């Protein structure tokens, strides 16, 4: 199918030796041998091909549901019939997340199908169709497969129209270790996208493997891989017995030797890098750093060797594992457990859905913008803007491209001349080339009853022809453009069909017409967002998610925000203690006159107790308010927080928040299966813990609280300016060896005088001080309490060995708590000259 595995391990191979061996082994000329093989192939294919089917379906996507509505968003692969009653084996990567599966047999019979079993580790799956009397494939014995023997691959390469295509080659190698859990067969029979899941057969018509991947790289051809028949039989047997593959579990994590990693024959076994506690290996006494040499009678040098050996045993069985511990060889009996891996969720088809998402639809349009037109079977939507005012289509065969643009707030009083001028001026689409290089072939105003339009036909060099039509209605300008290549435009019958398509465009959308497909993306209902942490939340359609797909959401003007924070509940932690810590941290961050924290209100969210806390804070003359919802479920702590300008506070906004809270739910089944313990960093944070910063070039160190953030000028690892910031303040150190110290002092004084002159509320004082025992300095103390964000600032200027240092300590009034002020002053007090330097 389209999503192909690409093996990127590079290598080289020569077939000369294999060909020579074949020639020597046969008492005939190479030409006679080739003729015999070529004569066999049609008979072999005639025997085997009826057992090979083509599989097509719609890939499903949780991230983009619109893909499922695109009739051309299809993926395909191949399968092999293993039972006459409609059981088909294929690759797991072919049918995983595939909906509306359709299976087509070699003679062209079509069946609806569904994936019944999937095993991603082996990349094998079963598809079931409702059929009888099918011809199952015959499987070869793995011991009969030889390097150099002629084989054929049967599949559906590139296009679904190329079903049961055949390529011929040889077995290039056996027991290959590629990006796979098990060994693979290597072949030079061409295996192209779409061949996945197809049969690799010998010249008896027997299946020796299921095609799974190819090596794709520039300059490399005919390097494909198939899953060997013994692995296929192993997986099929488990599917039949258990509905899944039951794998033995030891609890070991193993590491290959350097030789094995690079592909050299390895002289050692596998190093034990980790032993799971309470695992079978731990109970048997296997220890870290021991070397695993064999599993039962099977020597293991690579991870694939190990997997192949373990594959021969079932959970509950015992096996002797030989290890090397220093110079001692040990044998330990391990009673195998069962490996519990995350089961692949089987994709269900929607009731009444079909492979063609637009079955029965002969027209297409947008109900919100009120237009419709014919919907040819080959019309493919390629792009649509977020609000739907722009949409582009192409023909599936590449004959034409079509775009529709809707511009609102237009005057309905435009004259015919003005409308023609307007659509001509807009003729700078991606298809038109340079507008001034286009030749206008036709320009007229067509007085069609009900919906007159402006029409311009132009030729853009040798690229092709563009027909543009413009319609005015209800304060909107609808611009329809059709781009056709020169070859298609000069074909009269084609030209008539293009004009018929354009003529079908109407400023009308009949909601009662079941044959009309609505592509409107306008949505007035709430949208449900579900995170990998299992939390679902409903927000208005005009809100948008963080562009990185994160847990932040914003309204249209970004003034209102909803954020979700998820961490694990530490052992013994309670909702009451957690909320108490959060309120305490908030109150410690701001002065009392710049914050407000309401008394927590007890509510219920998704059946569990929750606390809701209203809050507000400000750094100056603008206040921001919000509400935080806290609850613990399934060992995770969830905080959902809304913030907004306090001036926006209203009954309507309160109702909005109540609806958001009511929509919240947590479903353990939708959580990412790999979620583990997520530490709440606030539990570990110490606001008074410091780290050392050292600037070698400018000769100083300073100790800074580790939760402050840093930035510096772009001049190397030891910047001339280094800033350490926290919410509402910073400590900045600047070093300058170019300006004379007296000039720096003069400039600083002038800046302060000018600032006070411009605003009398800007007050400052200066004094001479001594720092670090013997360093003479100028100290400026600034207070600007009437500023948009009031602040206090202390600036020290001093000189050491022809370098002038300017250190600024700034803190906004809102966060000037005793603790924050003490941290800033302590940080500056830690400033030390190093290397006997005050400069370079």
219 has pLDDT over 70: no
| pLDDT for position 69 | 67
Residues assigned a catalytic role: 93, 123, 196
Q: What pLDDT is recorded for position 285?
A: 93
| Phi then psi dihedrals of residue 57, to 5 deg | -170, -175
The angle formed by the CA atoms of residues 268, 269 and 272, to the nearest 5 degrees, is 125
Model confidence at 1, pLDDT cuts 50, 70, 90, reads very low
Strand ranges, E, within 646-774: 665-666, 690-695, 700-705, 709-712, 721-726, 729-736, 763-771
Round to whole Å and give the CA distance between 392 and 169.
44
Whether 419 and 445 have beta carbons less than 8 Å apart is answered as yes
Looking at residue 423, the DSSP 8-state letter turns out to be H
pLDDT digits (tens, 9 = 90+) for 227-273: 999 999 999 999 999 999 999 999 999 999 998 888 888 888 999 99
pLDDT over threshold 50, residue 365: yes
pLDDT of the residue at 426 = 58
Query: Is residue 808 predicted with pLDDT exceeding 90?
Result: yes
pLDDT for 16: 28
Predicted confidence (pLDDT) at residue 349 exceeds the cutoff of 50? yes
Alpha-carbon span 798 to 410, nearest angstrom: 64
Please choose, from the candidates 562, 737, 723, the residue with its C-alpha nearest in 3D space to the C-alpha of residue 641.
Answer: 562
Mean per-residue pLDDT, 557-575: 94
Per-residue pLDDT at 302 exceeds 80: yes
**The predicted structure's pLDDT at residue 775:** 93
Residue 155 pairs in a beta bridge with 165
**DSSP H helices in 431-553:** 486-489, 492-503
Helix, strand or coil for residue 433?
coil
Q: What is the pLDDT of residues 371-417, one digit of tens each?
A: 999 999 889 999 998 889 999 999 988 889 999 999 998 888 889 99
Which string of DSSP letters, residue by residue, matches 571-599? TT--HHHHHHHHHHHHHHHS-GGGEEEPP
Task: Give the model confidence (pLDDT) of 750-778 as tens digits.
Answer: 999 999 999 989 999 999 999 988 999 99
User: What percentage of the chain has pLDDT greater than the value 70?
Assistant: 89
How would DSSP label each residue in 428-494? -STTS--GGGEEEEEEEEE--TT--EEEEEEEETTTEEEEEEEEEETTEEEEEEEEE-HHHHT-HHH
pLDDT at 66: 57
What is the predicted pLDDT for the residue at 67? 59
Q: What is the mean pLDDT of residues 700-713?
A: 90
CA distances (Å), origin 838, targets 138, 321, 535, 612, 777: 85, 66, 55, 54, 14
Residues 472-527: tens digit of each pLDDT: 999 999 999 999 988 887 777 788 889 999 999 999 999 999 999 999 988 777 88
CA distance 744 to 752: 13
Is pLDDT at 214 greater than 80 in this prediction?
no
Q: Confidence band (pLDDT; 50, 70, 90) for 25?
A: very low
Q: In sequence order, what are the residues at sequence separation of 6 or more whose Cβ sits closer than 8 angstroms to the Cβ of residue 580?
A: none
SS3 call for 820: helix
Residue 208 has pLDDT above 50, yes or no: yes
Q: Please report the pLDDT score of residue 73 as a whole number.
A: 78
| All domains in the chain, ordered by first residue | 16-242 (2.40.10.120), 248-338 (2.30.42.10), 364-518 (3.40.1000.10), 527-683 (3.40.1000.10), 690-833 (3.40.1000.10)
CA–centroid distance for 541 within its chain: 22
Q: Of 6 and 663, which is predicted with more confidence?
A: 663
Q: Is 70 exceeded by the pLDDT of residue 14?
A: no
The pLDDT confidence band at residue 315, using thresholds 50, 70 and 90, is very high
pLDDT the model gives residue 787: 73
The residue-averaged pLDDT of 732-745 equals 93
In whole angstroms, give the CA distance from residue 15 to residue 171.
10
- The DSSP result for 1-42, as a single string, is --S--B---------HHHHHHHHHHSSS-HHHHHHHHHHHHH
Residues 125-158 have pLDDT tens digits of 999 999 999 999 999 987 788 999 999 999 998 8
The closest alpha carbon to 181, from 281, 306, 319, 312, belongs to: 306
- Asked whether residue 298 carries a pLDDT value surpassing 90, the answer given is yes
Cα–Cα separations (whole angstroms), residue 645 to 92, 560, 600: 51, 7, 21
Structure token pair of residue 772: 């670090």
The more confidently predicted of residues 136 and 219 is 136
Q: Under 8 Å CB-to-CB from 67, ≥6 apart: which residues?
A: 59, 60, 61, 73
Per-residue confidence band for 680, with pLDDT thresholds at 50, 70 and 90? very high
Contact 178, 234 (CB under 8 A): no
Q: Is the pLDDT of residue 223 over 90?
A: no
Q: Which structure tokens are listed for 339?
A: 């490996």
What whole-number distance in Å separates Cα of residue 169 and Cα of residue 211?
Answer: 13
Strands 363-366 and 516-518, by their bridges, are parallel
- Confidence at residue 691, expressed as pLDDT on a 0 to 100 scale: 95
Quick one: pLDDT at residue 486?
80
Q: What is the number of other CB atoms lying within 10 angstroms of the CB of residue 806?
A: 18
Examine the pLDDT at 17 and tell me if it is beyond 70: no
* pLDDT at residue 432 is higher than 60: no
Give the span between the Cα atoms of 214 and 398, in whole angstroms: 29
Higher per-residue pLDDT: 13 or 235: 235
The pLDDT mean for the chain works out to 87
- Rounded Cα distance between 79 and 88, Å, is 6
CA angle 648, 589, 827 (to 5 degrees): 140
Dihedral sign of CA atoms 732, 736, 741, 744 in order:
negative
**Phi, psi at 514, each rounded to 5°:** -70, -15
CA–CA separation, 840 and 838 (whole Å): 7
Degrees, nearest 5: CA angle 435-437-440: 80
């Amino acid at each position: 199918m389209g999503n192909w595995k690409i093996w990127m391990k590079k290598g080289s191979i020569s077939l000369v030796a294999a060909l020579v061996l074949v020639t020597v082994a046969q008492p005939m000329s190479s030409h006679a041998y080739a003729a015999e093989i070529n004569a066999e192939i049609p008979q072999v294919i005639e025997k085997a091909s009826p057992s090979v089917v083509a599989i097509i379906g719609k890939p499903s996507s949780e991230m983009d549901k619109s893909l499922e509505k695109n009739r051309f968003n299809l993926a395909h692969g191949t399968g092999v019939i293993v039972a006459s009653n409609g059981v088909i084996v294929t690759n797991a990567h072919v049918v995983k997340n595939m909906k509306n599966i359709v299976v087509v047999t070699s003679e062209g019979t079509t069946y609806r199908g569904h994936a019944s079993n999937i095993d991603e580790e082996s990349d094998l799956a079963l598809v079931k169709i409702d059929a009888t009397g099918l011809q199952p494939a015959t499987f070869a014995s793995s011991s009969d497969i030889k390097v150099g023997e002629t084989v054929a691959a049967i599949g559906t390469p590139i296009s679904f129209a190329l079903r049961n295509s055949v390529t011929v080659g040889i077995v290039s190698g056996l027991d290959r270790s590629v990006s796979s859990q098990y060994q693979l067969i290597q072949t030079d029979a061409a295996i192209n996208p779409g061949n996945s899941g197809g049969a690799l057969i010998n010249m008896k018509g027997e299946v020796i493997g299921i095609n799974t991947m190819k090596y794709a790289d520039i300059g490399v051809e005919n390097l494909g891989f198939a899953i060997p028949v013994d692995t296929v039989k192993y997986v099929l047997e488990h599917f039949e017995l258990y509905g899944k593959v039951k794998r033995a579990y030891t609890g070991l994590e193993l590491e290959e030797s350097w030789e094995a990693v690079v592909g050299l024959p390895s002289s050692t076994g596998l190093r034990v890098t980790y032993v799971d506690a309470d695992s079978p290996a731990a109970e048997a006494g296997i220890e870290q750093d021991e070397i695993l040499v064999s599993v039962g009678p099977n020597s293991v040098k690579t991870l694939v060797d190990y997997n192949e050996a373990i594959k021969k045993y079932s959970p509950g069985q015992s096996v002797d594992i030989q290890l090397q511990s220093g110079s001692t060889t040990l044998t330990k009996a391990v009673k195998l457990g069962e490996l519990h891996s995350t089961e692949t969720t089987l994709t269900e088809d929607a009731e009444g859905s079909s492979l063609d998402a637009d079955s029965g639809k002969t027209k297409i349009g947008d109900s919100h913008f009120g237009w419709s037109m014919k919907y040819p079977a080959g019309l493919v939507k390629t792009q649509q803007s977020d609000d739907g005012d722009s949409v582009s289509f192409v023909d599936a065969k590449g004959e034409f491209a079509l775009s529709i643009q809707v511009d609102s707030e237009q005057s309905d009083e435009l004259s015919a001349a003005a409308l023609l001028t307007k659509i001509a001026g807009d003729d700078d689409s991606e298809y038109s080339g340079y507008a001034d290089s286009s030749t206008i072939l036709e320009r007229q105003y067509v007085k069609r009853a009900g919906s007159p339009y402006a029409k311009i036909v132009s030729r853009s060099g040798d690229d092709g022809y563009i027909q543009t039509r413009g319609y005015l209605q209800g304060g909107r300008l609808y611009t329809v453009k059709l781009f056709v290549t020169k070859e298609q435009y000069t074909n009269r019958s084609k030209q008539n069909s293009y004009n018929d398509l354009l003529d079908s465009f109407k400023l009308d959308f009949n909601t009662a017409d079941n044959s009309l497909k609505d592509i409107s993306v306008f949505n007035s209902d709430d949208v449900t967002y579900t995170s990998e942490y299992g939390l679902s939340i409903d927000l208005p359609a005009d809100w948008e998610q963080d562009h990185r797909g994160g847990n932040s959401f914003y309204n249209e003007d970004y003034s209102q925000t909803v954020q979700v924070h998820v961490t694990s509940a530490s052992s013994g932690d309670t909702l009451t203690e957690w909320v108490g810590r959060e309120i305490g941290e908030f109150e410690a961050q701001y002065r009392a006159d710049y914050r407000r924290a309401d008394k927590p209100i007890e509510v219920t969210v998704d059946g569990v107790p929750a606390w809701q806390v209203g809050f507000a804070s400000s750094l100056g003359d603008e206040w921001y308010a919000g509400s935080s919802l806290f609850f613990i479920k399934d060992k995770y702590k969830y905080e959902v927080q809304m913030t907004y300008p306090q001036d926006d506070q209203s009954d309507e906004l309160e109702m909005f928040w109540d609806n958001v809270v009511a929509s919240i739910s947590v479903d353990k089944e939708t959580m990412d299966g790999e979620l583990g313990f997520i530490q709440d960093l606030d539990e570990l944070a110490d606001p008074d813990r410091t780290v050392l910063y050292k600037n070698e070039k400018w000769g100083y160190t300073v100790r800074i609280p580790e939760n402050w953030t840093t930035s510096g000028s772009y001049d190397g690892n030891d910047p001339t300016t280094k800033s350490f910031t926290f919410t509402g303040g910073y400590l900045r150190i600047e070093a300058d060896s170019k300006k004379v110290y007296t000039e720096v002092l003069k400039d600083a004084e002038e800046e302060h005088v000018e600032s006070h002159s411009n605003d009398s509320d800007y007050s400052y004082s200066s004094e001479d001080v001594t720092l670090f025992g013997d360093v003479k300095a100028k100290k400026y103390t600034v207070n600007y309490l009437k500023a948009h964000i009031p602040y206090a600032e202390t600036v020290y200027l001093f000189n050491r060995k022809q370098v002038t240092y300017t250190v600024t300590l700034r803190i906004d009034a809102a966060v000037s708590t005793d603790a924050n002020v003490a941290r800033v002053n302590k940080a500056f007090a830690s400033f030390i000259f190093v290397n006997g330097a005050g400069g370079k």
